[in-house]
Amino acid sequence: MKSFRLLVCVCLASASAPALVHAQDLTDEAAAVPSEATPAAAPAAPHEGLLPSVAADGCELHIWPAERMNSVTTGLLGGGLLDAALHSGKDASNKSLLASALDSQSQLDALLALDLREELALSAGTTFVVHDEPLERKTMNKVKTRRSDSQAACYSELIVADVFYQKAAIYGRSLKTLFMLRKFDAAQKIAFEYKAWGGNGLKLFPPKEGEDTIAALDELVGVFKANFSEYAKNERTTAAARVATK
């Protein structure tokens, strides 16, 4: 069974109505409907950072976190097997810290804290469908059909493909993130696809012995967000140029 959570835009009909509600796997929705004798549970609190003021309009953005984390440290040797062997222990430690700071839930929370509708030029009533389980990295480019069972006519996918820490002798430390956005038409074919890296420098990560580990991990989350904003800006430019040339 495909596991995902649904974040639904609801009309703010009253002051008490939540801006967003969380729902369980849609395949279990029927079982979750309360009977007349059983009062409905109170709606969940809205997700922090997401405050839509319009009702859902039928458009969906499905979001998947990255499966793969990687760390590459290169010294004066400039890479290669010897360089990899010399830094294997440090890279293993960095990957563990990456997985701690940017696990699937943390990636999703970081993205949902941004204004994805504005960043990706989506309609104001777009519904977010959040998938907890990453897609297999090797299938990222091979599968050209929708990665969910949704039949929505207005449908897009945002996939985090890679989270990559790099330390280079010349360029210093950075976090790079590979994102893919796919927009489908009503015939369920890809109408637009944009895959690219976002990358920014790091000052605190990885923490040295005695340094503030929490601050270093928080920096990773902040740079992850900055990477997405950089990616989204380039995506909007690419999409606008594509429209202009039609």
Radius of gyration for the chain, computed over Cα atoms and rounded to the nearest angstrom: 20
More confident residue, 65 or 89: 65
pLDDT, residue 92, reads 85
Q: Which long-range contacts (CB under 8 A, 24 or more apart) does 200-205 make?
A: 200/174, 200/175, 200/226, 200/227, 200/230, 201/172, 201/173, 201/174, 202/165, 202/172, 202/173, 202/174, 202/175, 203/173, 205/97, 205/165, 205/173, 205/175
pLDDT band at 93 (very low <50, low <70, confident <90, very high): confident
* pLDDT higher than 80, residue 91: no
Number of residues in the chain: 246
**What's the CA angle centered on 172, arms 167 and 177, to 5 degrees?**
60
In the chain, pLDDT over 70 holds for what percent of residues?
72
* pLDDT higher than 80, residue 22: no
Kindly list the distances between the CA atom of residue 76 and the CA atoms of 80, 158, 168, in Å, as whole numbers in the listed order: 11, 37, 8
- Average pLDDT for 59-73: 92
Tell me: the pLDDT tens digits for 124-171?
999 999 999 999 999 999 999 999 999 999 999 999 999 999 988 788
* pLDDT higher than 90, residue 60: yes
Lowest mean pLDDT among 16-30, 41-55, 70-84: 16-30
- Average pLDDT for 196-213: 94
* Per-domain boundaries in the chain: 59-244
* pLDDT higher than 90, residue 12: no
* pLDDT higher than 50, residue 41: no
- Average pLDDT for 59-85: 74
- DSSP-derived secondary structure letter, 17: S
- Average pLDDT for 40-68: 66
Compute the mean pLDDT over every residue in the chain, rounded to the nearest whole number.
80
